[in-house]
Amino acid sequence: MATRSRRTAKTSFPFTSKKTGHDDTIEIDDGRKPGQWGRAWEVDLFSLVAIICLLIFCPPMVFYFYVSCTHYDCALSAPLLGILIGDVTVAEFWSQLPPITADGFKIVLSWMAFQVILTNLPDLFHKFVPGYVGGIQPGSGITPSGEHLHYQINGLQAFCISNGLFLLNGFIFQWVSPTIVVDHCGEMLWVANILGYLVSILVYIKGHTFPTSPKDCKFSGYFLYDFMMGIELNPRIGKWFDFKMFFNIRPGMIAWTIINMSNAIYQYQMHGYVTNSMWIVNIIQGIYVFDTFWNEAWYVGTIDILHDHFGWMFGWGDCVWLPWMYTIQGFYLAYKPVDLPLPIAVALLTLGLVGLFIYRAVNSQKDYFRRTDGQGLIWGAKPKYLEATYYTSDSKKRMIKLLLSGWWGVTRHMNYTGELMLSTACCLACGLQGFMPYFYILFVFILMTHRCIRDEHRCKAKYGRVWDEYMSKVPHRLIPGVF
């Protein structure tokens, strides 16, 4: 219905043909505007309220989780209930917060500096690791202003050096305790928070004063919205230091496996063995992280890199939320070990591995389809697709294909379904004694469903009627026939 009513109100805008130099007029008959398909360009009251809540509640929440585990046996409701019924005073709770220490600063800042060095090294892995795509690679999309960026892909090298050093330290050199992350977790949370805010403020100022690509900046007119969702699409310092690539998948993501290993070693030291649940979490999440670095050239084609701008959501989220909340199952198990009966352990590991398989297969399928421009086979056959057009803000008309075959014909986001499956497996591995580890799946579920809606809104603005056609041919988002 919406499409029909828009069809009658035709929008036109001037278009200068690069070939002829003449002014043409392109008529877009489904309400699209050139370049208006990146970050949301309309801010509603709900978004503003949600942003204020996130800014207010997320930072204290990470400390609340920490104290619940360290002082209240990982019972999430205990501190709050204690305060409400008078068993715990606010002053007592305050005194249980971790201290701000020089060690916290030393660990976090050396880690960040080390990762900055690694990210600036040229990639050597692609020269000798068969099948690995690294070095300077083109991004797999065009920005709303029509720019096509290139990226320095060397994440696998940084991941292997960092994790290799952690293992060498644990088994041979013993420079620092292998439980360093658990031992100093609270202190590091403070520093990560400070850093997250500083990075967010820096990119906000940079967006206003010296943006990398002014044409891809977005200003909503609301300070909080711009601070949270970002102004610049691809802030960079120099040619290769890309804020999004660095913060999204370097310090926090590389630390993820190290944090999990540190949790496992802590559990071993405290309880004398590593539980099967801890193994499950380490294996599933370890493969997930390794996969991200093995496929870093794919990652540059995700919404994170192609469409989301860099603000507090990434700056703070990557420094604090990712290394803390994404590793919460391991932290929980370090304090509260869970031994699963063997059949349940096998079932959960299987669920996680199947989720991982779906996640990777779906993502690689779209990547392959886009890179071969629809010429390669999908599930052994020539793929079906829809041809769509879109307009960059230079008013250039561009063509793209939307895949209808394979996983992309089953639901519109089977990759999110895979992610939800593997995340569910990790949460269930923590048993049913407490809610804390399940906060993660709740978060991922909200993140993914909101992401589906956000993405569909964006794709509709970009592809117009062809997107409606895709939605009618592939009507479900996550679960075939259900949702």
Q: Are 156 and 199 in contact (CB under 8 A)?
A: no
**Residue placing its CB nearer to ligand NDP in the complex, 125 or 359:** 359
Q: Using CB atoms within 10 A of its CB, is residue 305 exposed (0-12), middle (13-18) or buried (19+)?
A: buried
Run of H or E including 389: strand 385-391
Ramachandran category for residue 58: left, alpha or beta (phi over 0 → left; psi -120 to 50 → alpha)? alpha
Q: Based on the number of CB atoms within 10 Å of its own CB, is 387 exposed (0-12), middle (13-18) or buried (19 or more)?
A: exposed
- Nearer Cβ to ligand NDP, position 106 or 370? 370
3-state secondary structure of 8: helix
Site membership for ligand NDP, residue 403 (CB under 6 A): yes
Q: Which of 66, 408, 438, 439 binds ligand NDP (CB under 6 A)?
A: 408
Report, in Å, the least distance between residue 172 CB and ligand NDP: 33
Kindly write out the interface string for residues 277-306 of this chain, putting x where it contacts ligand NDP by CB under 6 A and - elsewhere: -------------------------xxx-x
Residues near 60 by beta carbon (within 8 Å), at least 6 away in sequence: none
Total residues at the site for ligand NDP (CB under 6 A)? 21
Under the criterion CB under 6 A, does residue 32 sit at the interface with ligand NDP? no
As measured in angstroms, the least distance from the Cβ of 466 to ligand NDP is 11
Q: Among candidates 406, 481, 480, 412, which has minimal Cα distance to 449?
A: 412
Q: Which of 125, 204, 359, 439 binds ligand NDP (CB under 6 A)?
A: 359
Q: Which range binds ligand NDP by CB under 6 A, 39-47, 172-180, 184-192, 447-455?
A: 447-455
Q: How far is the CB of 93 from ligand NDP (least distance, A)?
A: 30
Specify whether the CB–CB gap between 441 and 361 falls below 8 A: no
The distance of closest approach from Cβ of residue 403 to ligand NDP in the complex, given in angstroms and rounded to an integer, is 4
* Residue 39 interacting with ligand NDP (CB under 6 A): no
By the rule CB under 6 A, 439 interacts with ligand NDP:
no
CA distance 143 to 308: 11
Nearest residue (CB) to ligand NDP, 122 versus 138: 138
Residues 6+ apart with CB under 8 A from 122: 135, 152, 154
Among 236, 366, 460, 477, binds ligand NDP (CB under 6 A): 366
Find out whether 100 and 183 touch, Cβ atoms under 8 Å: no
| Shorter beta-carbon distance to ligand NDP: residue 65 or 72 | 65
| Helix axes of 45-71 and 185-209: crossing angle, nearest 10 degrees | 160
Smallest separation (angstroms) from ligand NDP to the CB of 212: 21
The torsion angles phi and psi of 378, rounded to 5 degrees, stand at -120, 125
CA–CA dist 232, 209 (Å, integer):
11
Closer by beta carbon to ligand NDP, 244 or else 462: 462
419 near ligand NDP, judged by CB under 6 A: yes
Show the DSSP H helices in 143-295 as ranges: 155-168, 180-183, 185-209, 223-229, 243-249, 251-271, 276-294
SS3 of residue 453 by DSSP: helix
Question: CB-based contacts of 329: which residues, under 8 Å, 6+ apart?
Answer: 281, 426, 427, 429, 430, 437, 440
Q: Judged by CB under 6 A, does residue 363 bind ligand NDP?
A: yes
Pick the binder of ligand NDP from 263, 282, 327, 415 (CB under 6 A): 415
Which span sits near ligand NDP by CB under 6 A: 3-11, 75-83, 340-348, 397-405?
A: 397-405
- The contact mask relative to ligand NDP for 453-482 (x = CB under 6 A, - = no) is --x---x--x--------------------
Binders of ligand NDP in range 191-230 (CB under 6 A) = none
Name residues contacting ligand NDP, limited to 124-143 (CB under 6 A).
Answer: 141
**Total residue length of the chain:** 483
Instruction: Determine if 424 is a binding residue for ligand NDP (CB under 6 A).
Output: no
Binding segment for ligand NDP (CB under 6 A), chosen from 125-133, 173-181, 331-339, 395-403, is 395-403
What is the nearest approach in angstroms of ligand NDP to the Cβ of residue 138? 14
Q: Does 391 bind ligand NDP (CB under 6 A)?
A: no
Of 451, 454, 457, 476, the one binding ligand NDP (CB under 6 A) is: 451
Can you tell me the distance from the alpha carbon of 472 to that of 81, in angstroms, rounded to the nearest whole number? 49
Q: What is the spatial distance between Cα 167 and Cα 385, in angstroms, rounded to a whole number?
A: 46
Contacts (CB under 6 A) with ligand NDP, residues 301-340: 302-304, 306
Q: Residues near 194 by Cβ (< 8 Å), separated by ≥ 6?
A: none
Q: Judged by CB under 6 A, does residue 413 bind ligand NDP?
A: yes
Binding site for ligand NDP (CB under 6 A): 141, 302-304, 306, 359, 363, 366, 400, 402-403, 408, 413, 415-416, 419, 447, 451, 455, 459, 462
